[in-house]
Structure 1
Amino acid sequence: MAVLIRNEVFSCFVFYGVILVMKIYIIAIITGQVRLRKKAFANPEDALRHGGVQYHREDPYVERCRRAHINDIENILPFLFLGAIYSMTGPSLTVARLHFLVFLMARVLHSIAYLFALRAPTRSLAYTVAQIPCLSMALQILIAVAAYA
């Protein structure tokens, strides 16, 4: 582990990766808090605990928060895999940091656009921008390992 941490690119990746994992948790907490505030529970036992079975229901804003959370999981997990492998291919620290930063900023904007229902195409553009560094890392990984395949 110490050897990986001494790898500047991997250390940079770990920094951004941990922030992104924390972001997933933050969106999950927001979703839970909105459920409580809106009294819209996915499970009957939770509804009973918080006032009655009538609160076992869907709420549009809770669903929006939940979709933002699911979207984070669907996109951040592949980034974590790609970023870890990419870090081991020997990229430039500056270029790698740019990949990681662009992904982070685009995902933050995506969540803001989702949670605050910003006008289209803000969310779509943020999603697309976040895919660019992932595609770039994936291609660079494939190029790096092609010689060994």
Structure 2
Amino acid sequence: MDQLHLANPVFATFAIAAAIMVLKGVAMSWLTVARLISTNAGLLNPEDLRKTPFNPDPHPEQLGPNERVDRIRRIQQNDLENLPYFFIAGLLYVTTAPPLWLAQMLFYGFVVTRLAHFVAYYTAQNHEVRAALWTPGSLIILLLAGATLVAAF
């Protein structure tokens, strides 16, 4: 476990990539809030229809689907399905003491594919475009986990 410190450039690379992904993931929550406010729609819970200073004129349509809000929620759901695996696989991979250039390529490659996937999803690109951007990131996670297994055996 002596690889898990910021003086180790491989761990520092992972820390940078992971921190960027954490910030991106948290930003999705804020983007959801911004969309809820700007559309005055897309609420999920019946209690959200109570009259408050932030919702002075509640109406039942606010609980209906809203594509602008739901798109952000789907992007966030995709992050929640992928980022935890990256965090775990990446951290385990650091313990294998890989070459720095390879770790940088994999960790930063994952970040780039996730950010590109976000742009594609946000701009309503078709499934093939999104899948083409999602696939390399998923393959990177598999490679990280596989390399860890090989090193452990």
TM-score (norm 2): 0.88
Out of 78, 99, 104, which is 1:97 matched to?
A: 104
Residue in structure 1 matching 2:48, options 31, 34, 46 = 46
Task: Indicate the SS of the match to 1:67.
Answer: helix
Identify which range, 72-81 or 54-63, moves more after superposition: 54-63
Corresponding residue number in structure 1 for 2:25: 24
1:9-20 correspondence runs (5 A): 9-20=10-21
Give the drift of 1:68: 0.3
Distance between the aligned counterparts of 2:109 and 2:69, measured in 1? 28
Q: Structure 1 residues 2, 82: CA separation in 2 closer, same or farther (over 3 Å shift)?
A: closer
Offset at residue 61 of structure 1 (A)? 2.0
Distance (whole Å) between structure 2 residues aligned to residue 3 and residue 57 of structure 1: 47
Label 1:108 to 1:3 Cα distance change in 2 as closer, same or farther (>3 A): closer
Q: 1:3 to 1:108 in 2, by over 3 A?
A: closer
Amino acid corresponding to residue 109 of structure 1 in structure 2 = A
How far 1:56 moved relative to its partner? 2.2
The whole-number CA distance in structure 2 between the counterparts of 1:2 and 1:120 is: 39
Q: Match for 1:38: what amino acid? A: T
Please identify, of 2-11 and 95-104, the stretch whose mean Cα deviation from structure 2 is larger. 2-11
Residue in 1 that maps onto 2:37: 36
Structure 2 residue matching 1:5: 3-state secondary structure: coil
The structure 1 segments of at least 4 consecutive aligned residues displaced by more than 3 Å after TM superposition are none
State the identity as a percent.
Answer: 28
* Aligned mates of 2:23, 2:141 — CA distance in 1: 19
Distance 2:87 2:4 in 1: 19
| Greater relative CO (CA pairs within 8 A, separation 6+) | 2
Please, which runs of 5 or more residues in structure 2 have no aligned partner? none
TM-score normalised by L of structure 1: 0.91
Q: How many residues align?
A: 146
Gaps of 5+ in 1: none
Q: Higher mean Cα deviation, 55-64 or 7-16?
A: 55-64
Looking at secondary structure, tell me which structure has more helix per residue. Answer: 1
